[in-house]
Amino acid sequence: MSTITQITALLATSLALLASTTTASVTVQYTGRAPTGYEVTFKYTNATANKVQIAGGLLPFTDQFHTTPAFSTAYDPHEYRPGDFFVAGLNVNTTGNLGPQGNYTGFYMNNTGNGHWEWTSPFPSGTYSYAYIIDCGLGPRCATTEPGQVPGLTFYNDPQNLPFQNDHLQFNHSIFQVPYDKEFQYYPALNLDFDFSLPVPTAHQGKALAVNYSSPGSTYPAKDIHDLALYLPPNYDPNCTDPYPVLYLSHGGGGSAYDWPNLAKAFNIIDNLILEQWIPPTVVVCPAFYNLGCNDTGPFPELMICVRENYLSILLPFVEETYRASSDPEHRAFAGLSLGSELTYEMYINATSNFSSFGLFSGARGPASSDTNTAGYISNASVAANPELANRGVFVGFGNFDIAFTDCRALELALELAGVPFLSRIGLWKPTPYGIDAGRTGRVTY
Ligand SMILES: *[C@@H]1O[C@H](CO)[C@@H](O)[C@H](O)[C@H]1NC(C)=O
Ligand SMILES: *[C@@H]1O[C@H](CO)[C@@H](O)[C@H](O)[C@H]1NC(C)=O
Ligand SMILES: *[C@@H]1O[C@H](CO)[C@@H](O)[C@H](O)[C@H]1NC(C)=O
Ligand SMILES: *[C@@H]1O[C@H](CO)[C@@H](O)[C@H](O)[C@H]1NC(C)=O
Ligand SMILES: *[C@@H]1O[C@H](CO)[C@@H](O)[C@H](O)[C@H]1NC(C)=O
Ligand SMILES: *[C@@H]1O[C@H](CO)[C@@H](O)[C@H](O)[C@H]1NC(C)=O
Ligand SMILES: *[C@@H]1O[C@H](CO)[C@@H](O)[C@H](O)[C@H]1NC(C)=O
Ligand SMILES: *[C@@H]1O[C@H](CO)[C@@H](O)[C@H](O)[C@H]1NC(C)=O
Ligand SMILES: *[C@@H]1O[C@H](CO)[C@@H](O)[C@H](O)[C@H]1NC(C)=O
Ligand SMILES: *[C@@H]1O[C@H](CO)[C@@H](O)[C@H](O)[C@H]1NC(C)=O
Ligand SMILES: *[C@@H]1O[C@H](CO)[C@@H](O)[C@H](O)[C@H]1NC(C)=O
């Protein structure tokens, strides 16, 4: 599973199983058959294409015993066993990062004639992104999840299953979701039920909006205009007495405002959390930290410092003036993924009093030399200088096969040494693999 899926897996409880979900040209069908109980059929039309691959984040599977952040065994989904997951290769040019020969090229669609392409495969519970790659001659590099890494490679999204909002910048992926089936996907040591990201009944859905706002210095989507994705809870009342609590939720490196609602179905998760009464009706703002007028390629933490200043002086006032969103730090939270988690760390350290809670998902200060080297992280001296650091809600979440593993472990150790209470969630445990009694123990090692 991707880092985003792992993180969203931490956010909520499960919902009832759905029998079948259809999204235009992608059909998710309950089969009641191994290996997952569900099959996904893709249909695509392009009369001039000679070959069509499905990639853009749709990856083969791997297991806990043969995986590193940069290596996946690349099992075909037909070989799925409960406990398997997927990891994205970090560098598409690194031989061996997807499959033993590093030769995974995406899933080849069948040509069914007259320009029609089709492909059917089982998948387990989760949220998946995909894009079509046409006539790609780049070998394994056709299978990258990030088109920006491979100049000239075009990702075609599914015109009948468009993303909530195309981000124009990098990801051009469509999304589908597969429900959980405990008959085929149950794994004793890990909850693999991701149904909390499936849509709730329409009457209980909040509203998702793409919003442009005035932000002097911004260079995208227009001069002095910046963009964000907004979630307003069901029955949102702009005149209600108490303003809504607000969560600022940041994308990661190379990302955009629309990544959380697109790739992680974050607004479905928030719908579920509100419906199940885990959280009160909440406004969610997914801002975008690139193109604000800061130096996007500049060294850290200067970019994060610049973004912090921008958000506090421009973004928050805009949100609070325009929507019924709380301006009380007690009812504001900031969270983010990866580089967005580094931004969250910047907010925690340098905007401590502006938020009551901080969610750090896979990142803090960037690459760390070791799990135990806490130099530069929060310390007793930081807490002595800024006692509020010790009374915020701090959540640290990351995955076992996560490029930010060392960074997050160092952060957790630093928080412990500084006596700061925090909530920790690790997607898969290290160093002891989960459930050694099951899974792929019998397979060859690489
Ligand atoms: C169809 O495939 C061709 C390559 O053969 C590509 O140039 C074209 O953009 C594709 N058309 C659509 C609508 O995706
Ligand atoms: C991968 O290799 C190609 C061709 O050598 C190069 O142009 C590209 O920059 C490399 N990409 C990465 C991410 O290293
Ligand atoms: C990759 O290479 C291995 C070994 O040669 C082969 O079994 C496998 O089918 C290849 N995979 C693809 C996607 O070509
Ligand atoms: C491709 O077509 C063949 C022949 O009809 C079929 O057996 C196979 O299941 C198809 N593969 C996929 C992945 O849809
Ligand atoms: C995204 O996909 C659409 C539809 O397949 C295509 O027309 C468009 O050119 C793609 N956009 C980018 C930026 O690749
Ligand atoms: C935001 O501004 C851009 C550039 O002017 C425009 O293309 C886009 O449609 C606008 N989006 C919204 C939601 O208004
Ligand atoms: C909120 O109040 C304003 C003026 O007080 C009124 O114009 C508007 O219609 C109200 N909106 C709703 C949804 O009640
Ligand atoms: C942005 O930062 C990079 C790296 O430090 C530097 O080379 C570049 O000159 C900076 N750009 C601007 C516009 O300051
Ligand atoms: C952030 O906190 C500082 C210090 O308490 C305060 O001066 C500033 O107004 C706050 N900013 C916002 C947007 O709440
Ligand atoms: C916080 O602000 C200080 C002073 O500007 C700066 O040195 C530091 O890098 C900032 N960020 C963090 C995470 O400490
Ligand atoms: C930090 O402070 C705690 C008491 O709050 C103390 O137990 C601990 O030894 C201190 N750590 C260091 C490294 O000074």
171 & 275 share domain: no
Work out how many domains the chain is built from and give that number.
2
**pLDDT for residue 376 is more than 90:** yes
Domain boundaries, position 274:
3-13+203-427
Distance CA 262, CA 133 (A): 19
CA of 294 to the centre of ligand 9 (A): 21
Residue where one domain finishes, among candidates 173, 196, 219: 196
Token duo for residue 96: 């061996």
Q: If you average pLDDT over residues 153-180, what whole number do you get?
A: 86
Q: Is residue 89 part of a domain?
A: yes
Three-state SS at 253: coil
More confident residue, 159 or 272: 272
363 & 286 share domain: yes
More confident residue, 63 or 309: 309
CA of 215 to the centre of ligand 10 (A): 23
Q: Is residue 170 part of a domain?
A: yes
- 291-323 per-position pLDDT tens digit: 999 999 988 899 999 999 999 999 999 999 999
Q: Is residue 402 part of a domain?
A: yes
Q: Which of 130, 168, 172 to mutate to test the pocket of ligand 5 (most atoms within 8 A of CB)?
A: 172
Ligand 2 neighbours by CB, cut-off 6 Å: 91, 93, 149
280 & 181 share domain: no
Q: Is residue 370 part of a domain?
A: yes
130 & 218 share domain: no
Structure pTM?
0.90
Distance CA 167, CA 187 (A): 36
- 96-147 per-position pLDDT tens digit: 567 777 778 889 999 999 999 999 999 999 999 999 999 998 888 888 777 6
Distance CA 445, CA 68 (A): 12
Q: Which of 39, 58, 108, 110 to mutate to test the pocket of ligand 4 (most atoms within 8 A of CB)?
A: 110
Question: What's the gap between Cα 174 and its chain centre?
Answer: 14
Distance CA 92, CA 19 (A): 37
Distance CA 79, CA 290 (A): 40
Q: Is residue 446 part of a domain?
A: no
More confident residue, 134 or 430: 134
Task: Name 118's Cβ contacts closer than 8 Å, sequence gap at least 6.
Answer: 41, 42, 43, 44, 109, 110, 112
End-to-end C-alpha distance for the chain, whole angstroms: 20
Q: Quick check: CB of 47 below 6 Å from ligand 1?
A: no
Nearest bound ligand to the CA of residue 232: 7
Q: Quick one: which atom of ligand 6 is closest to the CA of 211? A: 13
Nearest-CA residue for ligand 3 atom 5 is 101
pLDDT band at 89 (very low <50, low <70, confident <90, very high): low
CA of 114 to the centre of ligand 1 (A): 14
**pLDDT for residue 289 is more than 90:** yes
291 & 152 share domain: no
Of 15-19, 132-136, 332-336, the poorest mean pLDDT is in 15-19
Nearest bound ligand to the CA of residue 164: 6
Q: Is residue 441 part of a domain?
A: no
Work out the angle between the directed axes of helices 339-350 and 302-310 (0-180°, nearest 10).
70
188 & 223 share domain: no
Of 27-31, 81-85, 393-397, the poorest mean pLDDT is in 81-85
307 & 412 share domain: yes
Q: If you average pLDDT over residues 178-203, what whole number do you get?
A: 93
Q: Quick check: CB of 436 below 6 Å from ligand 11?
A: no
- 196-206 per-position pLDDT tens digit: 999 999 999 99
357 & 273 share domain: yes
- For residue 362, the model assigns a pLDDT of 95
Backbone angles phi, psi at 71, to 5 degrees: -140, 130
Mean pLDDT of the chain: 87
Token duo for residue 26: 């992608």
Q: Is residue 342 part of a domain?
A: yes
282 & 363 share domain: yes
Q: Quick check: CB of 346 below 6 Å from ligand 10?
A: yes
* % of the chain at pLDDT higher than 70: 86
More confident residue, 302 or 166: 302
The DSSP code sequence of 148-185 is: GGSTTPPPB--TTS--SS--SSS---EEEEE---HHHH
Residue type, 432: T
More confident residue, 327 or 155: 327
Q: Residue 61 maps to which CATH number? A: 2.60.40.10
Q: If you average pLDDT over residues 325-330, what whole number do you get?
A: 98
Q: Quick check: CB of 157 below 6 Å from ligand 5?
A: yes
- For residue 429, the model assigns a pLDDT of 46
- 231-257 per-position pLDDT tens digit: 999 999 999 999 999 999 999 988 899
Residue where one domain finishes, among candidates 196, 211, 233: 196
278 & 403 share domain: yes
Answer for the pair 72, 216: CB distance below 8 angstroms, yes or no: no
Q: Is residue 37 part of a domain?
A: yes
Of 265-274, 291-300, 324-333, the poorest mean pLDDT is in 291-300
The number of C-alpha atoms within 13 Å of 274 and in the hemisphere containing its C-beta is: 27
317 & 402 share domain: yes
CB burial string 246-279: b at 16+ within 10 A, e below: bbbbbbbeebbbbbbbbbbbbbbbbbbbbbeeee
CA of 162 to the centre of ligand 5 (A): 10
Residue where one domain finishes, among candidates 141, 165, 196: 196
Backbone angles phi, psi at 262, to 5 degrees: -75, -65
CA of 172 to the centre of ligand 5 (A): 6
152 & 209 share domain: no
Nearest bound ligand to the CA of residue 312: 9
More confident residue, 38 or 70: 38
